[in-house]
A and B are shown apart, each in its own frame.
Chain A
Amino acid sequence: MGLKPFYEPADASGELPDPGAFPFTRGNFAGGYRDRLWTFRQYSGFGTPEQTNARYRYLLKQGGTGLSVALDLPTQCGYDSDHPDVEEEVGRVGVALDSLRDAEILFDGIPLDRISTSFTINGTAAILLAFYLAVGEQQGVARAVLRGTIQNDILKEYASRGTWIWPPRPSLRLIGDTIEFCADQVPRFNAISVAGAHFRDAGASAAQEMAFTLQDAVTYCDEVVARGRMTIDRFAPQVSFFFYTHGDFFEEVAKYRAGRRRWARIVRERYQAADDRSCMFRVGCVCGGASLYAPQAHNNIVRVAYEALAAVLGGVQSMFTAAWDEPFALPTEDSTTLALRTQQVLAYESGVTAVADPLGGSYYVEAMTDRMEEQLVEIMADLERQGGMVKAIEDGYVQRLIAERAYREQRDLESGERVVVGVNRFADGEPPPEVAGYEMDAADRARQLERLASVRRERDSREAARLLREVGAAARGDVNLMPVLVDAVKGYCTLGEISDVLREAWGEFQQPVVF
């Protein structure tokens, strides 16, 4: 957007309620971060549950205040580790969880009554939630005490991230089921984290990222409200959001402020929320991703630090700061610790937490916030004209918008129109650091497969078959699926088996191919 050389009082809209007051432009809480810091939540997971468990214990010892579970692609796409099509993916981009046995090991010695756990999981989110509830039960932690989040946002998977399994209709039903179930039984757990981050990393602009996400959230809330069993006030407090914070500092601050205000207005106006707390925009973010580069990779430390500052001035509730080596490697313990320290320096040394919304009232920031909200309204209206988010995704409309912008961004980078330090300006011609992926070694792989085999061997197989039939019957009917899923995982039915039963009942998503 075109910027003026400076901003003055006439540029900013007049009314600006205090922090903690509707529509929460200045933040959800009157005390800002004085009363409660954001959660330091570092995304982590690789290889076997034993390896990841050790990394989690390390992160918590270093002062991490929440876990964020990275799962491997077979787990995300509904396959067990022994599925013939997925052998090279097991344990690669996250930890492999095949059955409750793996989940027990993953959380061994981690007190689920005291930490919160976020799962980046979508297609199989309901199954992962069932694992978590079952592990909690084994630890003696009541459902009402468990805190955490499942991402559970399938629409952006269809449009940009790709771990879809079932078609939109049954997927929305399953998401609605988890939202209702959590509202009833797991009240401190976020049943969904509507995520824009993946739109952004696929190429969307800041405004598109926020607008697509809000439109997705509207689709989910419509689904639950249309069932007629719950008002928005029953479940809205368990709906959260997740975004990328990239490098354009004031645009990012404005994005969070405008998104928070827009969501508050949507919840009040569209769903007639009675409680202002239902209108709060609870948001986590990640700093890094596509804004990081492999050449002169140490520059990423600086990028992430500025992004983290923008996220805090935008008022996020939780943050993951990516490690500087993320573009080319599974982060090391050192680089992960440095990323966490980046947040800690910001939180404890910089002084930016002393006052709520310190940028509030800046002519420029308020004008940017207003302009951003106008863009959100425009983009969301366009999606409604396309027939809503599901239709816009099935038609490939959203994907095309994102691909267009990704292409333009790449061209601008290569032409030098968009400056990236160390990449197309001040480049030193040094080859970028060597890419080092994580390779699960043969022994770990064998251990994972052996554990899966022993789970299948040792469980009551007739009972497991019965539980799977129950899942199939529930999927074809219209009861809430969560109770049967919890029973199935407690009977050590595997994630792949449960996913297969649901595939049989529901079919698979057919992707529109556009570029």
Chain B
Amino acid sequence: MAPRVLVAKPGLDGHDRGAKVVARALRDGGFEVIYTGIRQRPAEIAAAAVQEDVQVVGLSILSGAHVSLTRKTVEALRAAGADDVPVVVGGTIPASDVPRLKEIGAAAVYPTGTALDAMVESMRELCSQASRSST
């Protein structure tokens, strides 16, 4: 079965060129992709992740608010009983924030400049780990 992924844009930042390019690349890479659209609250993202039964949630954040929004999304997933769903984060993210994001609970971080194919492979690996650990 194709891995299912939720591509989500939390916060008010409407720049979704990256989110859509990533969603397309994942679809072309054999994923089933659900895209939330822009300006989603963390609780809405968590609800969509549960409802769509996805194996991974990908956040796209370009406003610089990635630390706070990632933390809120991870917390919302936990509150929704979906803390086993890994969260990955992409966008304009300084290298120095990567450890902080991982500490908060991001399974992977893809800063601007990450090659699409590398990101798709990394997410494929995450999904297969997730399905191995859940069986």
A and B from one assembly? yes
Interfacial residues, chain A to chain B (CB-CB below 8 A) = 73-74, 76-77, 79, 85-89, 92-93, 157, 160-163, 201-203, 290, 294-295, 327-328, 403, 406-407, 410-411, 414, 431-432, 434-439, 511, 513, 515
- Please name all residues of chain B whose beta carbon is closer than 8 Å to the beta carbon of A86 when the two chains form the complex: 12
Complex A-B, nearest 5 residue pairs according to Cβ-Cβ distance, in ascending order: A162-B14, A437-B64, A435-B94, A73-B12, A88-B68
Compute how far the CA of A411 lies from the CA of B24 in the bound complex, rounded to whole angstroms. Answer: 11
Residue contact A406 to B17, C-beta cutoff 8 Å: yes
Interface residues of B in 5-23 (CB under 8 A from A): 7, 11-17, 19-21, 23
Q: Is the Cβ of A202 less than 8 Å from the Cβ of B69?
A: no
Q: How far is the CA of A295 from the CA of B114 in the complex (A)?
A: 12
Q: How far is the CA of A432 from the CA of B96 in the complex (A)?
A: 13
Number of B interface residues at 8 Å Cβ cutoff, please give it: 39
B11 touches A77 (CB 8 A): no
Residues of A within 8 A of B69 (CB): 88
* CB–CB A406/B113 < 8 A: no
The chain A residue sitting closest to B95, CB to CB, is A434
9 pairs across A/B with beta carbons < 8 Å? A73-B11, A202-B15, A328-B94, A406-B20, A410-B116, A414-B116, A435-B93, A513-B35, A513-B37
Q: Is B3 an interface residue (CB 8 A)?
A: no
Complex contact B113–A162 (CB within 8 A): no
Cα distance, A85 to B7, chains bound together (Å): 20
Q: Are B23 and A515 in contact (CB-based, < 8 A)?
A: yes
Contacts of A201 in B (CB 8 A): 15, 17
The smallest C-beta distance from B73 to any residue of chain A, in angstroms, reads 12
Determine whether the beta carbon of B21 is less than 8 Å from that of A407: yes
Contact A511/B24 with A73-B12, A161-B14, A162-B16 known, Cβ cut-off 8 Å: no
Would you give the shortest CB distance from A495 to chain B, in whole angstroms?
14
A24 to B41, CA, bound (A): 48
Q: How far is the CA of A310 from the CA of B126 in the complex (A)?
A: 46
Q: Which residues of B contact A436 (CB under 8 A)?
A: 94
Question: B64 contacts which chain A residues (CB < 8 A)?
Answer: 92-93, 437-439
* Chain B residues numbered 47-103 whose CB sits less than 8 Å from any CB in chain A: 63-65, 68-69, 92-97
Given known contacts A73-B63, A162-B38, A513-B37, A157 and B14 CB-to-CB distance under 8 angstroms: yes
Given that A162-B39, A328-B92, A511-B37 are contacting pairs, would A89 and B20 also be in contact in the complex, using a CB cutoff of 8 Å? Answer: no
Given contacts A435-B92, A515-B35, contact A77 B17 (CB under 8 A): no
* With A406-B21, A407-B21 as contacts: A162 and B15 at CB distance below 8 Å: yes
B68 to chain A, nearest CB (A): 4
Contact B96 A434 (CB under 8 A): yes
Contact A89:B24 (CB < 8 A) given known A162-B39, A295-B113: no
- Chain B CB within 10 A, most for which of A76, A403, A435, A438: A435
Q: Please tell me if the beta carbons of A88 and B11 are within 8 angstroms of each other in the complex.
A: yes
Closest partner residue, chain A, to B7 (CB atom): A515
Chain A residue, CB-CB nearest to B118: A414
CB distance from B67 to the nearest CB of A (A): 8
Q: Are A92 and B65 in contact (CB under 8 A)?
A: yes
Most central of B17, B21, B111 by chain A CB within 10 Å:
B17
- Which residues of chain B come closer than 8 Å to A161, judged between CB atoms? 14-15
Tell which of B15, B20, B38 has the most Cβ of chain A within 10 Å: B20
Inter-chain CA distance A491–B94, complex, in Å, is: 43
A85, A87, A290, A294: which contacts B113 (Cβ < 8 A)? A294
Complex CA gap A451/B112 in Å reads: 36
* B111 adjacent to A435 (CB under 8 Å): yes
Query: Within 8 Å CB of B23, what residues of A?
Result: 515
Chain A neighbourhood of B115, CB < 8 A: 414
Q: Is residue B117 contacting chain A, with contact meaning CB distance below 8 A?
A: yes
CB of A483 to closest CB in B, whole Å: 29
- Find out whether the CB atom of B11 lies under 8 angstroms from the CB atom of A202: no
Known: A77-B39, A407-B24, A414-B116; 11 extra A-B contacts, CB below 8 A, are A73-B13, A74-B12, A86-B12, A88-B11, A160-B14, A202-B15, A294-B113, A403-B17, A410-B116, A437-B94, A438-B64
Do A403 and B24 touch across chains, with their CB atoms under 8 A apart?
yes
* Complex: chain A residue closest to B12, CB-CB: A73
Decide if A411 touches B116 in the complex (CB within 8 Å).
yes
In the complex, chain A residues whose CB is within 8 Å of the CB of B94:
328, 434-437
Give the docked Cα–Cα distance between A350 and B100 (Å): 48
For A76, A87, A511, which residue has the most chain B Cβ atoms within 10 angstroms? A511
**A162 near B116: Cβ-Cβ < 8 Å:** no
| B20→A515 contact, CB < 8 A | yes
CB distance from A322 to the nearest CB of B (A): 15
Q: How far is the CA of A368 from the CA of B80 in the complex (A)?
A: 56
Tell me which residues across on chain A come within 8 A of B33, comparing CB atoms.
515
A89 engages B96 (CB within 8 Å)? no
B63 touches which of A89, A328, A406 (Cβ 8 Å): A89
Closest-CB distance, A411 to chain B (whole angstroms):
7
Residue in B closest to A93 when the chains form the complex, CB atoms:
B63
The residue in chain A whose Cβ has the minimal distance to the Cβ of B9 is A162
* CB proximity of B56 to chain A, nearest CB, Å: 17
